[in-house]
Copies of this chain bind each other. A is one copy, B any other.
Amino acid sequence: MSSEYASHFGITNVPYGIASSTIRTQPQCVTRIADEVIFLDPLASSGLFEHVKGLPPGVFRTRTLNDFAALPKEVHKQVREAIQGAYEKGNLAAASESVEDINMHLPVRIGDFTDFSASKDHVLNAGEAITGQRSFPPGFLKYPAAYVGRCSSISISGTPCRRPHGQFIEDYTVPEKKIIYGPSRALDYELEVGAVIGRPVQPGQMLKASDADKHIFGLLLVNDWSARDIQGLEMNPLGPFNGKNFLTSISPWVITPEALESFKVPAPPRDEEVATFMDDKEAVNYAINLEAQVIRNGTATTTCKVGFNTMYWTFRHMLAHHTIGGCGLRTGDLIASGTVSGQADDEHGCLLELTSNGRKPATLNGGTELRYLEDGDEVRLTGRVGNTSDGVGFGECVGVVKPPRGL
């Protein structure tokens, strides 16, 4: 029997990740085809990549994809083709194990994590849920907003989300606004896509949006767990901190630009003129169909279905804005898109939007109310590229909410 996600990993996908097993106990570089996880170092030892110029020996034996990610696109392309060729010849069995027998680990060593806010609809919806106003921050039509996130809290899909303690306003509806300390009462998820940096951007190398693609090693799913009450009090004036830094989950498989190539779609038109370096005639998104589910008492409810093609700012724009002041990007850096949301009621990528900050509960399939996440709730993010038959997807990014720690 094939797994739920076997069809995400067709022969045109060839994603990269880091895995270990009882046979191969040292985490190392792998790819996946259907439900087979294929270890790349044994393939390299067998000579499969011998013809690939510029592939350092032992590069797949490392605990992260960083060394491989930093290599030129031409090397990535040849490795991909060699894997596809060997699969077609049935030559991968000795290096393969079933996905059932595998532990996945963080795919890259992340030196810096930037989370953008690149969706127009998210900005308008989230603003409305908090302030009642639908308006853009002052610079939003010139560049995507961003904040820096916590690297040490980035964890692999499957890591439980312990409900964080923090300080927040007890009841926003009363004028006295008393600040209390305790477990968050407004735990949320954010459905996002992340880009992993491959070829580094040197400090001072100011990217143009049209020239940024070559620095992206691949994409993955991101759940930027958020405690809205803690975040709400701390946002003014320095942005999110404890409301976000307790956990960020990422999916284990990095989907490469080569796999995504056939799924390019144009970015939405610009509402305002932008600076020359942000002007990107070929601004492209990808046709990624994202979905969020909340699973309570074993019953799943789809809370969001949204296309990544709705994003106003693309990763090309994000990288250009990020580097224009001279900030470098290192291999393995994670650049996330921010919550992906569309205009429709079923296109809200977080509960802040879906439930208007908990004021207008949704009803789950089991019949219970959903305002924010409850202890025991599981959040499942998935992403499929193109149609079901295209064979390219991200798999899932999941996490169960655990009750707060005792003090």
Contact = CB atoms under 8 A, between A and B. Distances in A.
Interface of A: 111-112, 114, 117, 137-139, 142-143, 145-153, 162, 164-167, 169, 177, 179, 181, 203-204, 206, 227, 230, 233-242, 245-247, 275-277, 321-322, 324-330, 333, 405, 407
Nearest to A227: B325
23 contacts: A111-B152, A112-B151, A137-B236, A139-B167, A145-B237, A145-B238, A146-B234, A147-B148, A147-B238, A147-B239, A150-B327, A164-B324, A164-B325, A165-B325, A165-B326, A166-B324, A166-B325, A181-B276, A206-B407, A235-B237, A242-B325, A245-B325, A245-B327
B326 A247 contact: yes
A147 B234 CA distance: 10
A231 to B, nearest CB: 10
Contacts of A112: 150-152
Q: How many copies does the complex hold?
A: 2
A181 B111 contact: no
Given A147-B241, A148-B245, A181-B275, 8 more contacts: A112-B150, A114-B241, A137-B237, A146-B234, A147-B148, A147-B239, A165-B325, A246-B325
A46 to B, nearest CB: 36
A241 B148 contact: yes
A323 to B, nearest CB: 9
Contacts of A234: 139, 145-146
Mostly, the A contact residues are loop
A242 B327 contact: yes
A117 B324 contact: no
A150 B148 contact: yes
A237 B338 CA distance: 13
Contacts of A138: 169, 177, 179, 233, 236
B152 A246 contact: no
A150 B146 CA distance: 12
Contact of A165 (B206, B242, B322): B206
Contacts of A233: 138-139
A330 B322 CA distance: 25
Contact of A246 (B137, B277, B326): B326
Contacts of A230: 325
Contact of A147 (B147, B179, B333): B147
Contact of A405 (B204, B241, B327, B407): B204
Contacts of A181: 275-277
A25 to B, nearest CB: 24
